[in-house]
Amino acid sequence: MNTDMYCYTHNRDKTPLPSIFDPWFEPERTAVLCIDMHRGHLEEECTCPAPRAIEKIEIHNTFHRQVRALGIPVVMVQHWQRHGGIDDIASRKRTKGANWRYVYELYMSPNPLMDQHSWEGTRWLDLMVETAPTDYYIRTKKRLSGFYPTDLEFLLHNLDVDNVILTGTFTDACVLSTAFDAANRDFRVIVPRDIVAGYSEEAEQAALLVISLHLGLVVDSDALIKEWQTRQGGNPVPENSVMMA
């Protein structure tokens, strides 16, 4: 390590990282996957509200600016369904739509907008975080994981990426599911715990606990940026050094 880089084991204990983890922090082998930071989650009245993520929009923007300034690619991964719902609620399968639709009815208030969640051609797919011309997009995600059924793995291989940084929402659903699929494909998984948001504080912390135990490293974003910067000459990158589109 070039800095006193650490992670949180059990999502609790601040633990210095030994040199065996050096390859996990190679910026030239890294991509950031920003998951589902679109309007369908990020308004008070929307198809599937994620209030905790609304509070972190600017935190995402700041982190992504710094990442882009370091030359690390950002990939916007979105739950994106065909208009009309054939991919989910209007499916002709016997099992019909995604499991989460059924389960949410057990504890969430009825929401007539939810039928249109992530429908192509609706405003619910408007990204609510800043983007840049250098960003990449994955727009075929139909379930929780960013890898299903998408060409995300194909893109990461062509970017020559080994390490994936997960940001976005929900920590306990799409981020966690993507972390499992990334780890199962032998990508190194890192989650900055201050740049993800869960259904609730309890659910978020539980998801980060699982990630820290089985899937990868849970870290602080400022420490991560500092480690990358020192590997590229040690000069701090100004927050606003890159103009966004």
Per-residue pLDDT for the chain (245 aa), expressed as one digit of tens each? 999 999 999 999 999 999 999 999 999 999 999 999 999 999 999 999 999 999 999 999 999 999 999 999 999 999 999 999 999 999 999 998 899 999 999 999 999 999 999 999 999 999 999 999 999 999 999 999 999 999 999 999 999 999 999 999 999 999 999 999 999 999 999 999 999 999 999 999 999 999 999 999 999 999 999 999 999 986 554 444 443 33
Distance, first Cα to last Cα, the chain: 34
| Distance between CA atoms of residues 140 and 82, nearest Å | 9
Domain span at residue 182 reads: 6-231
Residue 189 forms part of a structural domain:
yes
Residue 1 forms part of a structural domain:
no
Residue 244 forms part of a structural domain:
no
**How many domains are contained in the chain?**
1
Residue 239 forms part of a structural domain:
no
Residue 36 forms part of a structural domain:
yes
Q: Cis omega (within 30 of 0) on the bond before 149?
A: yes
Strands 74-79 and 188-192: unpaired
Residue 44 forms part of a structural domain:
yes
For 164-203, b where at least 16 C-beta lie within 10 A, e where not — what string?
A: bbbbbbbbbbbbbbbbbbbbeeebbbbbbbebbbbbeeeb
225: CATH: 3.40.50.850
Look up residue 173 and give its two tokens: 């659903």
Residue 205 forms part of a structural domain:
yes
3-state secondary structure of 16: strand
Residue 177 forms part of a structural domain:
yes
0.85 exceeded by pTM: yes
